[in-house]
Structure 1
Amino acid sequence: MSQLNIRMGRKAGVFLGLVAMLFSLLFAGAPAHAADDPSTYPYSIAGTILNDDKEVPDVKITATLDDFTTSVVTNEWGEWEIRVPKQGIYKVELDVTTLPAGVTMTDKGGEVSEADLTQTDFAAVLFSLGKSTVQAQSFSDQLLVRVWSGLNFGLLLAIAAIGISLIFGTTGLNNFAHGEMVTLGALFMWVFYQGLGQNIIVSALGAVAVVAAFGWAQDAGLWKPLRKRRMGLNQMMIVSIGFSIVARYVLLLVFGGDTKDIGGGGNIVQLGPIYTSDIALVSLVICVIILAGVALFLTRTRIGKATRAVSDNPSLAAATGIDVERIVRIVWIVASALTGLAGVLYGLQFQANWLTGFDILLLLFAAVTLGGLGTALGATVGALIIGMVVEVSSMFIPNELKYAAALVVLIVILIVRPQGVLGKKQRIG
């Protein structure tokens, strides 16, 4: 075994060890989940929390029948769903302490309702809210809440966007199947954590390992043979689009089309006017640490420097003795592991389904393009800008158009600076 292989093995072991230590520290004491898988329960109660037609996220809903009780929080669209194991009339209660400041129930006692599942397998429950969030909160409080959400969302995008940037930098490939790797990370987190009942740390590491292995197999079985045939980048991009469609529908066949609740929404944490969850806080810390680790990897390690050399000029890097194919393979594994981690964290916060990665794929490419193609730091900066624009813009435009606002900002910035925020005007080679 060569010295480089030994070094690679040691660094891979250190990386996995650090990730395991990080999860153990940040998720220490995480409660064990039930042995039963809630997503397999045959009955469901659902609804949407709206306030003056504006979605209200992070509101806690609890359903109770006899000795069974379970809770969820509304997602960013105000939607919630609780799966239950048996028929009956369930008590459904909204936790008024999780409502935004100044928002109350229209009717006294309106926070408690009933869901009748005695004759059907689905029941809808509506809660009527009072004063508008926009009127109740000052503009500065609203802005602070949106900036917090933008920072959280932007960091999640950054972890996945760096994977796209590294692969593009070393191979020139725009991989449209990257979104499916995000989905794979989220769904396998659900498999290990909810399906197999593993510890949250083991589940996260297992999901990341599965996606890393998928990235290695993808490169070894598909992209390396195409590179050897000297297939053009445009043709390879078209292949990636077809591969993404196939992978997406395979995930649909295997996992089904329902939404998987992984983390249960977490516990509500209040930071001034901001209502968030402990899962979101832990996710933010993990993202910051991982981004710092990637920066150190690219600037301080031998493999990282070789990766940057291959990204700048593969021919020149090969002439200096760098094994370009080996570096490309390492990049695929690292990029896939980062993308899998993004899927894990995204699934814990927002749940997961077969379209999880596809829904944010355009935002990932927008982040990479905005920051500067092929630069990891640029992808991070671009992702933070996109995350901020997506969340802050929802204060001024309908929620359904917030992703479009991010793409408009991308177009405007590229007109002014075509190479992106941190991109080079001219690349060697």
Structure 2
Amino acid sequence: MLLAPLALLMGAPPANAVVLCLAQADQTGCVTGTVGNRANPVEGVDVSLLDADGVEVDSLTTEADGKFSFQVTEAGDYFVSVGELPDGLEVRPPAERFQGPDGSIMVTVALGGSVSPDLNVRSVDFDAGGDSFGDQIIQSIAQGLRLGLLLALASVGLSLIYGTTGLSNFAHAEQVTLGGMVAYGLCNVAGINLWVGIVLTTLICGFSGFLQDFVMWKPLRKRGLGLTQMMIVTIGLSLAAQYAFQFFVGASQQKVVVRNFDVVELGPIRLTGMSFVAMGVALVAIGIVGYVLLYTRVGQATRAVSDNPALAAASGIDVDKIIRMVWVVAAGLAGLGGVFYALVVSNGIRWDTGMQILLLLFAAVTLGGLGTAFGAFVGAIIIGLVVELAGPLGAPGDLKYAVALVILIVLLMVRPQGLLGRAARVG
């Protein structure tokens, strides 16, 4: 099933594609995006770029791929205005902080960087044109599975860390950002082949997990630092990583690769070929982790450390070695998830990408059951489906993320240990 998407990925870009803007440091910035999305582009729509005073800077009409691309020579706030859409369609309202005059969307452009406003569309009346309500639900389910699998890559590692150390790692989402940033440096800046870059990014991120445990977490454990203090350290590490990303890469969104992936249609489902590849890779990676946990001695040792570290050490298991291995695997999986998240979900990577999905990762881990890797996988799939289904069911803009968290709260009121967690006596 993955051979067709892989073949499509190797093809040349379509002849009618909009020429993408290439940002140059201290010279030009870019405003790029798609009217609709890469799976459902809208053709023949007038898109205009206005400066802060409302003066038109540039305009174009979208072609079959729905894409637009503008280049600016001055940093600052701009507004993207969309003309008349086909009957029955409208642009989804953006978050309040991005709303501009006359229905436009505000973007902040930095020289040397690129920004992509969200111009996704929805049907005003499900009987008035566009996809039917049923098709939209099916499409959203496919997108939810994609998002859930990518969240699972990070949340499984987060759950393993909690299970073996008891630590709630608030810096884990920055490993997702690190994956996208490293891939951007390797593929976009250094020009390395995308697939080689993905492998190298996973290895580099895994090594960063090794360094974290060797330099920081093992010494802190040896000194007997409490979990609360260590959790505060993870918050500080998260903030430090975010500022480091801004310093070295910039505050604007960066693309891992400057190219457009072809769309694959399977009935009412329209996703890019790269989306199918990302889902396949995520399933394989999570499957390997599951196999190791269930059927190998290393997995048995990991589960023993998770159940009772003291008893595991007394039985001859090298607890520090197991914990270090967990940090390596967790960081590598998060980095891998970050690359594909930048390629197929967010259309690039920003310094705050990890921060934006941090609550979703913790929601997935908590929903599935704290410390259970398989629970984190199930929780991530549920969170992904809820987030994507909330849109066609009427949740505007970023409110769809709040819907997922509300469902988490309701479920925990009924089952506090999570879906696959074990009930524990309190008091």
The TM-score with structure 1 as length reference comes to 0.77
* CA-to-aligned-CA distance 1:5-47 (integer Å, 9 cap, x gap): xxxxxxxxxxxxxxxxx99x958974699xx993437435536
**Which residue is equivalent to 2:405?**
407
Query: How far did 1:216 drift?
Result: 0.8
1:251 and 2:245 are equivalent in the alignment: yes
Q: Is the 8 A contact 1:116 1:123 kept in 2?
A: no
Distance 1:325 1:192 in 2: 32
* CA-to-aligned-CA distance 1:255-283 (integer Å, 9 cap, x gap): 10111122434112222222211111110
**Which residue is equivalent to 1:326?**
321
Equivalent residue of 1:160, what SS? Answer: helix
**One of 347, 351, 354 as aligned partner of 1:354:** 351
1:155 and 2:149 are equivalent in the alignment: yes
1:287 and 2:272 are equivalent in the alignment: no
- Amino acid corresponding to residue 188 of structure 1 in structure 2: V
**Which residue is equivalent to 1:18?**
none
- Amino acid corresponding to residue 46 of structure 1 in structure 2: V
Instruction: Give the 3 Å change call, closer, same or farther, for CA 426–378 of structure 1 in structure 2.
Output: same
Distance 1:277 1:30 in 2: 13
Q: Which runs of 5+ in 1 are unaligned?
A: 1-21, 63-78, 82-88, 100-110
**One of 360, 367, 376 as aligned partner of 1:379:** 376
**Which residue is equivalent to 2:273?**
278
Q: How does 1:6-405 map to 2 (within 5 A)?
A: 30=10, 38-40=22-24, 42-44=27-29, 46=31, 58=39, 92-96=60-64, 98=65, 124=80, 126-131=82-87, 132=89, 133-134=122-123, 135=126, 136=129, 137-263=131-257, 264-349=259-344, 350=346, 351-395=348-392, 396-405=394-403
| Aligned length, in residue pairs | 363
Distance 2:275 2:72 in 1: 33
Query: How far did 1:150 drift?
Result: 0.6
Q: Is the 8 A contact 1:60 1:94 kept in 2?
A: no
Equivalent residue of 1:383, what SS? Answer: helix
Distance 2:181 2:73 in 1: 32
Distance 1:330 1:296 in 2: 16
- Amino acid corresponding to residue 128 of structure 1 in structure 2: E
Distance 1:170 1:120 in 2: 47
- Amino acid corresponding to residue 360 of structure 2 in structure 1: L
Instruction: Give the 3 Å change call, closer, same or farther, for CA 206–56 of structure 1 in structure 2.
Output: closer
Query: How far did 1:365 drift?
Result: 0.5
Question: Greater helix percent: which structure?
Answer: 1
Distance 1:323 1:27 in 2: 45
Equivalent residue of 1:38, what SS? Answer: coil
Q: Is the 8 A contact 2:144 2:386 kept in 1?
A: yes
Instruction: Give the 3 Å change call, closer, same or farther, for CA 415–80 of structure 1 in structure 2.
Output: farther
Instruction: Give the 3 Å change call, closer, same or farther, for CA 355–333 of structure 1 in structure 2.
Output: same
Distance 2:370 2:414 in 1: 16
Query: How far did 1:145 drift?
Result: 1.0
Q: Is the 8 A contact 2:360 2:383 kept in 1?
A: yes
Query: How far did 1:333 drift?
Result: 0.5
Instruction: Give the 3 Å change call, closer, same or farther, for CA 117–199 of structure 1 in structure 2.
Output: closer
Q: Is the 8 A contact 1:371 1:423 kept in 2?
A: yes
- Amino acid corresponding to residue 342 of structure 1 in structure 2: G
Q: Is the 8 A contact 1:46 1:123 kept in 2?
A: no
- Amino acid corresponding to residue 302 of structure 2 in structure 1: T
Q: Which moved more, 1:199-208 or 1:115-124?
A: 115-124
- Identical pairs, percent: 42
**Aligned Cα root-mean-square deviation (Å):** 3.3
Query: How far did 1:243 drift?
Result: 1.1
Q: Is the 8 A contact 1:90 1:114 kept in 2?
A: no
Instruction: Give the 3 Å change call, closer, same or farther, for CA 221–114 of structure 1 in structure 2.
Output: closer
Query: How far did 1:127 drift?
Result: 4.0
Instruction: Give the 3 Å change call, closer, same or farther, for CA 179–117 of structure 1 in structure 2.
Output: closer
- Amino acid corresponding to residue 43 of structure 1 in structure 2: T
Distance 1:398 1:250 in 2: 32
- Amino acid corresponding to residue 352 of structure 2 in structure 1: L
- Amino acid corresponding to residue 308 of structure 1 in structure 2: R
Instruction: Give the 3 Å change call, closer, same or farther, for CA 95–215 of structure 1 in structure 2.
Output: same
**Which residue is equivalent to 1:108?**
none
Distance 1:226 1:420 in 2: 30
- Amino acid corresponding to residue 126 of structure 1 in structure 2: V
Q: Which runs of 5+ in 2 are unaligned?
A: 14-19, 50-56, 90-121
Equivalent residue of 1:399, what SS? Answer: coil
Q: Is the 8 A contact 2:175 2:205 kept in 1?
A: yes
Q: Is the 8 A contact 1:192 1:203 kept in 2?
A: yes
Moved over 6 A (4+): 47-50, 113-123
Q: Is the 8 A contact 2:22 2:30 kept in 1?
A: no
Distance 1:38 1:140 in 2: 39
Distance 2:389 2:62 in 1: 27
- Amino acid corresponding to residue 360 of structure 1 in structure 2: I
